[in-house]
Each structure stands twice: as C-alpha cells, then as structure tokens.
C-alpha cells in the first residue's frame, strides 16, 4: 500500500516549466521576484524551462530524462499542467514517471488546482500574489501526496488524463468565450441562450482493481450501450454539465467543497433547462462561497460518481478538459484513484 505522503529531499533540484504568456504575461517576473527567493531559502535549486509555444511542455516532459529532477514544477495556469500530465502519460515508463512529484504555482488566468490546494491546506481564500506565495510555501515545505486522475475518452478516439474537470455547456462557454458574457460584469456569467440536449449516464458502483496499464475497467466502448447497472439520466435539455474532481473551478468558484486530491470521486453537477437567469446568477454568486447546494435549486443536480458518459444529441456548445477546449462529441470518463502517486512508497 503506497504511503500517502512523501517529502522532497534536500538539497532538491526542480525543473520549472513556465509559460511566459500565461495569465497577464507576468509569470517570469513573478517567478523571479516571489518564487525564487523563497525556494533558495528552502534549498530548492531550479532550472527554468520557458515554453515557446503550445505543446512545448508536453514534448519536454515526454522525452526528458526525469532522473535528474526531484520534482516538476509548473508555473502557469491549469492548461500547462494538463500538457505535463498528458506528456508524462505518453511515456512508455508512464508508471514510473507519474511517481515524480508535481507542483503547480499559479501564473495563469485559470488557477483552479492552485486554489484547490490552497483550500485543502486550510489557508484563507486568497488570489493572485498571495495565492502564489501560499503555493510556493507549500513547495518549500516539500510535502507531497497523491492525486486522482480521470481518464476521458471521446467518440473520435482521443484519450486524455484530466486532473481538474470536464465540462459542457454554460461554464465551458464562459471559460473559452467569456467576452460575450461581459454584460454580467466581472463575474461574466449568464444563462445565454444555450440549451444542450443530451443523455447523461452515471455509474456509482465500486471501482475494479486496475491492471498493469491504466485500462478504463468501468467503461465499455462509446459505440455500445452503457452497462445495465448504470444510472441513466433521461434525455433532457441541460444548461451545463460539469464533472469536477477538485474543489475549485476557478480562484473564486468553490464548486465541490467536499472534493479532495485523492477521494476517488468525480463530483458531477448538471443543470437542467428552465432555470431562470436570476436563479442562475444566485447560484454562481453562492458558488464563490461554496454554498450553492444549500439553495436547494431543483434545476441543479449533484451526484458523486466514479464514471460517466455524456451523449450530446447534436454537436452544440463547447466542451472543456481542464479548461482547454474540445470539439463537442460523445465523451465518457472514469476516475483512476491516485494515479499521480507518492514516489517514495
Ligand atoms: P492560462 O491560465 O493563462 O490560460 P495556461 O497554463 O492554461 O495559462 O496556458 C494556456 C495555453 O498556453 C496552454 O494551452 C499552453 O499550451 C499554451 N502555451 C504554452 N506556452 C506558450 C507560449 N510560449 N506561447 C503561447 N502559448 C503557450
Ligand atoms: Mg488555461
């Protein structure tokens, strides 16, 4: 049984993957001004790899000799960590590679994992430089633990490993195309006109023992009907579907307060059509404090699951994986508990 926690060696050598374009473009300045002095105090040496284009970090960690690094640090938004996780999973030695401790330092505009870790650590809710300082402090302490990943597969044959969430409909549209939601002010949330017709299938059964590779033991191919013991949400119009596996969807969105790094669970939210704009706005305002479920809105459903399948009737709306856009198509996913695991077990 792998140990739950490990600790980085000292001295420690970190490879820092930094996206200079992330967020407001200040990641490199912030790294030098805020992060590097703290890490130096903690005896953590850094080699900075500045990404020059999308996919650069993916290729770097896919081909890298990882034995020279004690940890891989991502200074960017969630998107760059998504590249790193999927680059590691493409390696023939993915199982070994996934034992390498990973660290996220918020440098992007979407820093949901950093906000979640700040929350799990019991720190006050903070953003921007204070969040960066807290996350750097966590790295300085050097304690690391395991994290679940969700394997997502699409009808066109793509497979992703996701650490944050899969979304369809309203939230994903806002994520990718928030400009058209400016009428709502800084929150940028609206019902819009989108109503997505889909069938949602969820599975609450116990997980099976994973094999030598990470096979999706709970899933059958997308062309086949789901197993009979799955729960099928009948064909409905949905405003949004969001499967989240961390607490925060954004720095100010505490969507799944009960979520933890390795709870073995997908926290599935879906919102049925017919909800009023006012109620939707109230829900999102409550979500900043994580109290949206207390409103008992009949349109908002929450169910913790281990696997799900989403079958859109038409290819409408944007899908996102960890904040990155996907074409709309049938998707299914299942959790792989603790796939990012303690390296010192
Ligand atoms: P943000 O939260 O600001 O969106 P992300 O880390 O999510 O930051 O990065 C967004 C995208 O930028 C990622 O999809 C990544 O592939 C891409 N990217 C990485 N390096 C660069 C670069 N040098 N120039 C442009 N895009 C990049
Ligand atoms: Mg991003």
Enumerate residues 6+ apart whose C-beta is below 8 A from 112. Answer: 78, 164, 165, 246, 248, 249, 250, 251, 253, 323
Residue 343 has a pLDDT of: 34
Contact 285, 72 (CB under 8 A): no
Q: Which residue of 16, 20, 21 sits with most ligand 1 atoms within 8 Å of its CB, as the best mutation to test the pocket?
A: 21
Catalytic residue (one of 43, 65, 70, 78): 78
pLDDT at residue 18 in the model: 98
216 is catalytic: no
pLDDT at 344: 33
Q: Is the pLDDT of residue 107 over 90?
A: yes
pLDDT at 174: 63
Kindly state the percentage of the chain with pLDDT values over 70.
86
How confident is the model over 168-220, as pLDDT tens digits? 887 766 666 555 554 444 444 333 333 444 556 665 545 333 335 589 999 99
Q: Is the CB of 51 under 6 A from ligand 1?
A: yes
Amino acid 170: pLDDT: 73
pLDDT at res. 109: 87
Phi, psi (deg, nearest 5) at residue 198: -160, 165
Q: What is the bridge-based pairing of β-strands 300-305 and 324-326?
A: unpaired
Residues 240-260 have a mean pLDDT of: 94
Question: What integer is the mean pLDDT of 70-93?
Answer: 96
Ligand 2 center to 176 CA (angstroms): 9
Q: From the CA of 77, how far away is ligand 2's center (Å)? A: 5
Q: What is the DSSP string of 40-84?
A: HHTTEEEEEEE--STTHHHHHHHH--GGG-SEEEEEE-HHHHHHH
Q: By mean pLDDT, which of 1-15, 56-70, 195-209 is the weakest?
A: 195-209
**Which ligand is nearest the CA of 80, by number?**
1
CATH number of 149-340: 2.60.200.40
Ligand 1 closest atom vs CA 83? 16
Cα separation, 343 vs 145, whole angstroms = 9
**Between 33 and 277, residue with greater pLDDT:** 33
**CATH 2.60.200.40 spans which residues of the chain?**
149-340
Q: What is the per-residue pLDDT for 239?
A: 82
Q: DSSP string spanning 98-126?
A: TTS-EEEEE-SS--HHHHHHHHHTTPPP-
Average pLDDT, the chain: 87
Predicted local distance difference test score (pLDDT) of residue 66: 98
Say what the pLDDT of residue 214 is.
84
- φ/ψ of residue 312, rounded to 5: -70, 140
Q: Which two tokens stand for residue 273?
A: 């059509």
Do 104 and 168 touch, CB atoms closer than 8 A?
Answer: no
Nearest CA to ligand 1 atom 22: 53
- Of 76, 114, 325, the one to substitute when testing ligand 1's pocket (max ligand atoms within 8 A of C-beta) is 76
Q: Measuring from atom 19 of ligand 1, which residue has the nearest CA?
A: 54
Q: How would CATH label the architecture of 5-145?
A: 3-Layer(aba) Sandwich (3.40)
**What stretch(es) of the chain map to CATH 3.40.50.10330?**
5-145
Closest residue CA from atom 10 of ligand 1:
79
Mean pLDDT is lowest, of 127-141, 197-211, 257-271, 296-310, for 197-211
Tell me which of 180 and 79 has the higher pLDDT. 79
């Amino acid at each position: 049984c792998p140990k739950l926690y490990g600790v980085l060696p000292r001295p420690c050598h970190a490879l820092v993957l930094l996206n200079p374009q992330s967020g407001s473009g200040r990641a490199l300045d912030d790294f030098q001004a805020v992060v590097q002095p703290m890490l130096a105090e903690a005896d953590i040496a850094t080699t900075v790899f500045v990404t020059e284009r999308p996919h650069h970090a993916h290729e770097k960690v896919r081909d890298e000799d990882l034995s020279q690094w004690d940890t891989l640090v991502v200074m960017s938004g969630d998107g760059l960590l998504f590249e790193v996780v999927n680059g590691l999973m493409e390696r023939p030695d993915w199982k070994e590679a996934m034992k390498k401790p990973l660290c996220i330092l918020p440098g992007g505009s979407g820093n949901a994992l950093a906000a979640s870790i700040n929350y799990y650590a019991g720190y006050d809710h903070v953003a921007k430089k204070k969040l960066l300082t807290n996350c750097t402090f966590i790295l300085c302490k050097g304690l690391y633990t395991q994290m679940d990943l969700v394997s997502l597969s699409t009808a066109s044959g793509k497979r992703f490993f996701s650490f944050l969430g899969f979304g369809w409909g309203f939230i994903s549209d806002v994520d990718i195309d928030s400009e058209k939601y400016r009428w709502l002010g800084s929150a940028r949330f609206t019902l819009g006109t989108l109503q997505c017709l889909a069938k949602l299938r969820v599975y609450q059964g116990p997980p099976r023992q994973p094999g030598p590779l990470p096979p999706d033991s709970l899933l059958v191919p997308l062309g086949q009907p789901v197993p009979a013991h799955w729960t099928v949400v009948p064909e409905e119009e949905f405003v949004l579907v969001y499967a989240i596996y961390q607490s925060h969807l954004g720095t100010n969105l505490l969507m799944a307060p009960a979520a933890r790094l390795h709870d073995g669970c997908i926290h599935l939210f879906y919102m049925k059509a017919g909800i009023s704009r006012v109620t939707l706005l109230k829900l999102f305002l409550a979500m900043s404090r994580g109290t949206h479920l207390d409103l008992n809105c009949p349109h908002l459903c929450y169910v913790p699951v281990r696997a799900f399948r989403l079958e859109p009737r038409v290819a409408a709306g944007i899908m996102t994986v960890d904040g990155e856009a996907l074409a709309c198509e049938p998707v299914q996913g299942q959790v792989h508990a603790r796939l990012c695991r303690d390296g010192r077990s």
